[in-house]
Chain A
């Protein structure tokens, strides 16, 4: 458990708290407006269609869900792997995880064709569907994360702290395995149907979740005037680099496999070289800005202990994450289905052509609404319950350092 000197305290009521809530509330309202607009008219007001069936809302939703499981890692490293410096951040880690998951799920649910039938999705299961398993995994994650927080907050429940942390960690690995398998199990789409999607999504969750956590942690401490030392930040900084490297490694394996196998070469070649916006998003968004730039910001010697560099690294990792998911989701669907291998196909219904997709403003508003909801939950959470240590200064967080 955390060091005895750690004191957790709610954030104080301040003008900043309400300003933040007001700004986030505006995005929430826009998200709600987008939902009602889609719901009233039908999905024809969106850019999604029968060729690109999942679009920007799914990019937002899957980013948030993947980042949610990753955000819990900070707590898990403290609990499961016994790293003391991470333990004081366990409560916030679980709060961010739950908030991101709910933010992501709300986007996913509100984009359904029939969101009013959510109760059907919660009560009628086809257990051969990885989607059905995910519904159970998401709900279980929320419950386990809540129990985990309880064992950290209630002295009487302290004996369950280790097992709760262990279960939550195991569950989150399975959860992201399930999220990746949503794509891995698609038999007919050459860009998806691979077991590597599951571990790829797990390591993506490590990177995205940590990047979000770093930003939340930094601003939570800066805006409330609490001390936050370099010891904590530098641990997170180098951990982020490891995770970014992990994503790059699996992405390399995935793309090389795609180029090597003739059946997959078409779509891989399309994404890597000929895909226009998807190629640009891959190389510029995901690889350069989302991976190499953050790594440079982290390892540049002149930027050691530089907080702005860390914030930029985290921000660009998030940007790269969105680019990566956009390429996977939309790029993978843009490439036409192979009906007849070795032949060209055409029809009056977009067979054999690269499908186009232009996201509508409504989809963007819905996605941003999901992010706003997650942040509102974190903001209110740290205000009403003792999630944040009063200080994470070096001498408190890591008394044995230097």
Chain B
């Protein structure tokens, strides 16, 4: 072995060592950044049926939401256009998501969080719907089939989160990807049109540092890993609905 070749090996070895060190130093940060950047979602082949192999869910880190979730609500509003009901009174206007301020009566500890459909595993709105219009997709997304909703509003009576809205007037200028209808009930559908295309829900994209979206059934998904490490609380966990939307910091 010539002197030069030894040097070459040494150089390679050192370079490899340096590279490994660099990876070891940068990678955790990178992974962490990815984890904060809202999780992962793979596009679904339109010809392929939705299966229960996946269960979509969301982890909202309330401590990282500097605006209490207002940006998420605004993104939802923009994506689905649900604020377009000029005739309706404030109580009648649609709200797919809202920011709720919570203050403990005793300790006065206070925080804000965005509240929308919690995509329960056992959704009361689905149980009570007479026609089956209120339905849960195999992948855990709870939504309304607007073709068979008769507008009885029983699901709104049943929802523990006030997540559903009834459309009180004729709608104009609707979003093509999110059709709505007078006389039917609607709610957050986890941006099903985006998720099926491999995109993150609009609200998740609006708060990537605070929200993680992904497959709750996959133990290796970012959301599952984070839930395992950080924990994630449910609103009204006492109702035992096993919600797909979880919160950290509440």
Residues of A whose CB lies within 8 Å of any CB of B are: 41-44, 48-54, 112-115, 117-118, 120-121, 124-126, 128-132, 134-135, 182, 185-189, 333, 337-351, 355-356
Contacts and interface: CB of A to CB of B under 8 A. Distances in A.
B158 A49 contact: no
Contacts of B153: 53-54, 113
A52 B168 CA distance: 13
B151 A112 contact: yes
A49 B115 CA distance: 19
A50 B183 contact: no
Please classify the interface of chain B as helix (H, G, I), strand (E, B), loop, or mixed, using the class held by over half of its residues: loop
Contacts of B156: 50, 53
Contact of B150 (A49, A118, A125, A186): A118
B101 A346 contact: yes
Contacts of A187: 124, 158, 160, 239
Contacts of B88: 44, 49
A50 B128 contact: no
Contacts of B150: 112-115, 117-118, 120-121
A54 B154 CA distance: 9
B24 interface: no
- For the residues of A in contact with B, the DSSP-based class is loop
B11 interface: no
A347 B101 contact: yes
B104 A342 contact: yes
B101 A131 contact: no
B131 A130 contact: no
A134 B130 CA distance: 9
Interface string B87-128: 111111111001111111110000000010000000010111
B152 A339 contact: no
Contacts of B195: none
Chain A CB within 10 A, most for which of B88, B91, B94, B115? B91
A188 B158 contact: yes
Interface in B159-216: 159-162, 164-170, 182-185
A122 to B, nearest CB: 10
B184 A339 contact: no
Contacts of A117: 148-151
30 contacts: A42-B182, A43-B166, A43-B183, A44-B88, A48-B92, A49-B92, A50-B92, A50-B93, A51-B162, A113-B151, A120-B131, A124-B148, A128-B127, A129-B128, A129-B154, A131-B129, A131-B130, A185-B127, A185-B158, A186-B128, A187-B239, A188-B158, A188-B239, A339-B100, A339-B235, A342-B104, A347-B99, A347-B100, A349-B162, A351-B162
Interface residues of B, number: 57
A125 B151 CA distance: 15
A186 B158 CA distance: 5
Given A124-B132, A124-B148, A42 B167 contact: yes
A121 B166 CA distance: 18
B236 interface: yes
Contact of A50 (B127, B131, B158, B165): B165
A117 B160 CA distance: 27
Given A339-B102, A342-B105, A348-B99, A131 B91 contact: no
B50 interface: no
B147 to A, nearest CB: 8
A131 B87 CA distance: 30
Given A50-B94, A120-B150, A337-B161, 5 more contacts: A52-B91, A113-B152, A114-B183, A124-B131, A124-B148
Contacts of B127: 128-129, 185
Nearest to B131: A124
Contacts of A114: 149-151, 183-184
Contact of B148 (A120, A343, A349): A120
A50 B95 contact: yes
Given A42-B170, A186-B158, A346-B100, A50 B115 contact: no
A141 B157 CA distance: 26
Contacts of B101: 345-347
B168 A43 contact: yes
